[in-house]
Amino acid sequence: MSFPAGKTVDKRDNSILAGLEPAIFFGFFEELSAIPRGSYSEKQVSDHIADFARARGFEVYQDEIYNLLIKKPGTPGYENSPTVILHGHTDIVCESDEGVDHDFKNEGIKLQVIGDFIHGTGTTLGADNTVGVAFAMSLLASDDVPHPPLEVVLTVQEEVGKGGAQHFDGTKLSGKRLLDMNWHDPKSLFAGCAGDISVRFKIPVQWEPRVSEQTALSLRISGLSSGHSEFDIHLERANAIVQLGRLLRIVIRDTGARVAEVKGGVNRYVIPGEAEAIISIDASRIVDLRQRIEAEAASIALEYNASDPNLKVTVSESGRQFTQVFSAQSARALVDALNLLPNGVQSKSLQVEGLVESSNTVALLSSDEEAIEIVNTVPSAVSSRRYNIVDKIRQLSELIGNGASVETFADCPEWPYNPHSRMLNAAKAAYEREFGEQPHVEVSHSSLELGLFRKKVLDIDMLSIGPEAFDVHTTRERLNHTTVDLTWRLLKSLLRELRT
């Protein structure tokens, strides 16, 4: 399939996306983009969509955490067809470039169109999953698209452990066929994915007085390519938290520096692009520290020159005021954990060529008065592999000691590929009818909410489609607007195919 050439954007009526087709989709996409909707802050967007649906006379269920279920009857001739569940999620990853002051709790995304792509302005775009919600609203608002009865499920907290899907009451669903709109490749049908689990690794902090004559410095690593911790894990990009651990090991061992604070990462499903440590050091050792950091930073830059060409390590004076530093034992436990936690690809599938089977991302790092916390995300297409990685992390905590502990949460099962899926075969037929060629069928290392719906609805049959998007979960996120109409055409054709 070849993509159509991009269109010149008509900016009349102050609309950034006016002139793009399908107009109904881009109208809703822009409308949603104006609403703040970070994870745990979905009430406003949920209320907006619920009001939109009620105004059209549809049955609406909104639960206490703002998941939505909207029911629309089938169109003439499809009234008695098997119900189709249409799924997306309302929350987005909120991240901004260094120096960009964007209040995600009170501001929507400022869109811009550059050639064939829609971007944010120094922030994530939120195409993941504003796309799915805009398609759902387009179908709900359309009166010229034949379709079976629809149950539109829009979940919350997907980007922070799939909390909405975990909470959603599956007994309210009558449909057994689910079409998810959270895929990013219009040339393929997404037909299976990994499950995942999150792991909170905690190290209690013991404190010692800081030597007041020492200098406070910020050791920071930034400029990394980052990316989605599941879609992009095979690209072997540098992890800022892991590399900070590598640098701290040298700093502590060779210069006697003490650590007062650590932080890094933005979300459990994002490869960390930045991390920082606040350290305290004798002024006489600062030159030595800089030399050692520069040498190690040069090695890291060489190792990742292809994946992370903009990697930057800086040492600068910190204005932070503090009177305590981690004890030597706590700092050692921190460094051991950051350097020994599994990170990146852990196994490849022996059944699907090129597919990552299991991985771990050291995703978030923070410290407070009581503990250092390191949050990991562990996806795997095979449950036993997932739990084996968790067990290795637990063993590491036992070896490190110092009161280190492991807690798991947000356990989501995998969605196994089924080559005999009615949804998949109907989508293949619809795709070939629309585009004159067979689609690629994709099974991915990413973990979607679909494994949870598989547990909630017996014998559910699922598929995911979507337009082309790149670098989701990063400030480079962009949506190829020329591919949206391709997905819209496929969506309408597939709904016609699902008449029986």
What confidence score (pLDDT) does residue 11 get?
40
Task: List Cβ neighbours of 43 (8 Å cut-off, separation of 6 or more).
Answer: 66
Q: What is the CATH number of domain 197-412?
A: 3.30.70.360
* AA letter at 29: F
**Token pair of 422, please?**
């009615």
Between the alpha carbon of residue 39 and those of residues 84, 157, 161, 166, 452, the distances in Å are: 26, 5, 10, 14, 18
CB 176 within 8 A of CB 82: yes
Q: Which amino acid is at 246?
A: R
Q: Which is nearest to 322 in space by CA: 287, 274, 278, 379?
A: 278
How many Cα neighbours within 13 Å face the side chain of 434? 24
Q: Which two tokens stand for residue 376?
A: 């990991």
Nearest one of 350, 376, 34 to 239, comparing CA atoms: 376
Relative to beta strand 356-367, strand 461-464 is unpaired
Query: Which two tokens mark 223?
Result: 């400029």
Compute how many other C-beta atoms are within 10 angstroms of the C-beta atom of residue 358: 24
Rg (C-alpha) for the chain, rounded Å, is: 24
Distance, CA of 408 to CA of 330 (rounded, Å): 22
pLDDT of residue 161: 86
Q: Would you say 362 and 344 are in contact if contact means Cβ atoms under 8 Å apart?
A: no
* Number of CB atoms found within 10 A of residue 395's CB: 11
Nearest to 132 by CA among 110, 105, 164: 164
User: Considering only CA atoms, which of 84, 66, 65, 64 is closest in space to residue 75?
Assistant: 84
Architecture of domain 12-194+415-497: 3-Layer(aba) Sandwich (3.40)
Structure tokens given for 72: 């629309």
Q: What is the C-alpha to C-alpha distance for residues 338 and 233, in angstroms, rounded to an integer? A: 18
pLDDT for position 101: 93
- Where do the CATH 3.40.630.10 domains begin and end in the chain? 12-194+415-497
Residue pair 361/239 in contact by the 8 Å Cβ criterion: yes
State the pLDDT at residue 13: 60
As a whole number of angstroms, the distance between CA 298 and CA 319 comes to: 27
What are the residue ranges of CATH 3.30.70.360 in the chain? 197-412
* Number of other CB atoms surrounding residue 23 within 10 Å: 12
Burial group, residue 294, by CB count within 10 angstroms (0-12, 13-18, 19+) = exposed
DSSP 8-class letter at 270: B
Q: How far is CA 440 from CA 87, 191, 424, in A?
A: 21, 10, 11
> How many whole angstroms separate alpha carbon 135 and alpha carbon 146?
15
State whether the Cα torsion 53-54-56-60 is positive or negative.
Answer: positive
| Rounded Cα–Cα distance for residues 259 and 105 (Å) | 32
Sequential pLDDT tens for the chain (500 residues): 544 443 333 443 679 999 999 999 999 999 999 999 999 999 999 999 999 999 999 999 999 999 999 999 999 999 999 999 999 999 999 999 989 999 999 999 999 999 999 999 999 999 999 999 999 999 999 999 999 999 999 999 999 989 999 999 999 999 999 999 999 999 999 999 999 999 999 999 999 999 989 999 999 999 999 999 998 999 999 999 999 999 999 999 999 999 999 999 999 999 999 999 999 999 999 999 999 999 999 999 999 999 999 999 999 999 888 999 999 999 999 999 999 999 999 999 887 788 899 999 999 999 999 999 999 999 999 999 999 999 999 999 999 998 999 999 999 999 999 999 999 999 999 999 999 999 999 998 988 899 999 999 999 999 999 999 999 999 999 999 999 999 999 999 999 999 99
